Chain A
Amino acid sequence: MPDISRRRALTAAAALAATATAATLAAPAASAAGHEHPMPMPRHPENFDEVYKGRRIQGRPMSGGGHHAEHGGGVEVLVDGVELHVMRNADGTWISVVSHYDPVATPRAAARAAVDELQGAPLLPLPAN
């Protein structure tokens, strides 16, 4: 099972990487481009829902406003249902609170980097503020 889901994930990642690059080039200043035009999950570069190394990672447009909305460029990332604090850099790259000095290309890559870093440990919920 892990092999199948991983291959599937890698194929999807390759397709999405191209989409993400195109989107970044076309609209470098747009934050969470495409908010007004929700698309089926696989078509949107910042939406994903997969099992990676045995853990469910999800990315989706942030619902409602909220304290963290602007930091993540309007994107919410979850690991096993717990929010991972992510942030979009000015150049379109992403970081998360568990990998804060090492930008990656997409929110999905940030979620996978978090799963790698966590080595199975549960993420703690963000402090309420």
Chain B
Amino acid sequence: MTVRKNQATLTADEKKRFVDAVLALKRGGRYDEFVRTHNEFIMSDTDTGERTGHRSPSFLPWHRRFLLDFERALQSVDSSVALPYWDWSADRTPRASLWAPDFLGGTGRSSDGRVMDGPFAAAAGNWPLTVRVDGRTFLRRSLGTGVRELPTRAEVESVLSIPTYDMAPYNSASDGFRNNLEGWRGVNLHNRVHVWVGGQMATGVSPNDPVFWLHHAYVDKLWAQWQSRHPGAGYVPTGGTADVVDLDETMKPWNDVRPADLLDHTKFYTFDS
């Protein structure tokens, strides 16, 4: 059984195996298909139309399945690898070990945002960006400049305390847990972290930065925490909602999996704590 661990607790060997598996997917071309899929959904999910991956109740189960696909791809390279998660409410500065050269590398240089160290720096030659929205082929970051502060633990707690999963109109204007976690409303958790990292993480092709997976693995963990705090509250809507994935409807692009199939993460993996 896969155990997802806090990235801050990984051993040097676990970090190396994770990085090597990510680089192997990149070499084989499989990595970039994940980037392409994410961008296609982010450009087509709209508040007034069909919405599946973002700005909708299925934001959480869609990303849970997307991460499962990626984790399974990693495990096809090295079966010992699991997705780590980044608790950005705790490891909240550019000095966190997450950003060290033996793991993801650090922030970008000021002139052009180019990441200069770590295994994903352009100079290492192993991380050319091919799915892009602009001409730049190198990984960029600008940690803490698009927005100064990552969410605090107290802000996370305030969102976990929201008792309702989601609410009509089931989009970026909704109240409820999902939209406050996604960040279009309220203290802004998930969206703000994308902006804090900057570079490609702030764009539709955000999975170009491997931190995407660690960020979403923690968002996913927060969903699990919310479920254990609100055992009587479930995924909504539960049927007949236009443009929105109801509990028992299948989700694109897989078309064979429903939110109902993804509510219990323990079928697939557990967390270290």
Listed in ascending order, the chain A residues whose CB lies under 8 Å from chain B are 31, 70-71, 85, 87-91, 97-103, 117-119, 121-124
| Complexed CA–CA distance, A99 and B207 (Å) | 14
Chain B 176-220 interface mask (CB, 8 Å, partner A; 1/0): 000000011000001110110000001110100000000000000
Contact A99–B203 (Cβ < 8 Å) = yes
Contact A98–B169 (Cβ < 8 Å) = no
A100 touches which of B46, B134, B202 (Cβ 8 Å):
B202
Contact A121–B134 (Cβ < 8 Å) = yes
Count of chain B residues near A, Cβ 8 A: 33
Apart from A99-B203, A101-B202, A119-B113, 16 more pairs, CB < 8 Å: A71-B44, A85-B133, A90-B47, A97-B39, A97-B43, A98-B202, A100-B206, A101-B195, A102-B194, A102-B202, A121-B135, A122-B134, A123-B134, A124-B133, A124-B134, A124-B135
Interface of B is mostly: loop
Chain B 44-57 interface mask (CB, 8 Å, partner A; 1/0): 10111100000100
Using Cβ atoms and an 8 Å threshold, which residues of chain B touch A90? 47-48, 169, 171-173
Q: What's the nearest-Cβ distance from chain B to residue A53, in Å? A: 15
Using Cβ atoms and an 8 Å threshold, which residues of chain B touch A122? 134-135
Q: What's the nearest-Cβ distance from chain B to residue A76, in Å? A: 14
| Complexed CA–CA distance, A71 and B133 (Å) | 17
Can you name 24 A-B residue pairings with CB atoms under 8 Å?
A71-B44, A85-B133, A87-B43, A89-B47, A89-B173, A91-B172, A97-B43, A98-B134, A98-B202, A98-B203, A100-B202, A101-B190, A101-B192, A101-B194, A101-B202, A102-B146, A102-B202, A119-B113, A121-B134, A122-B134, A122-B135, A123-B134, A124-B132, A124-B133
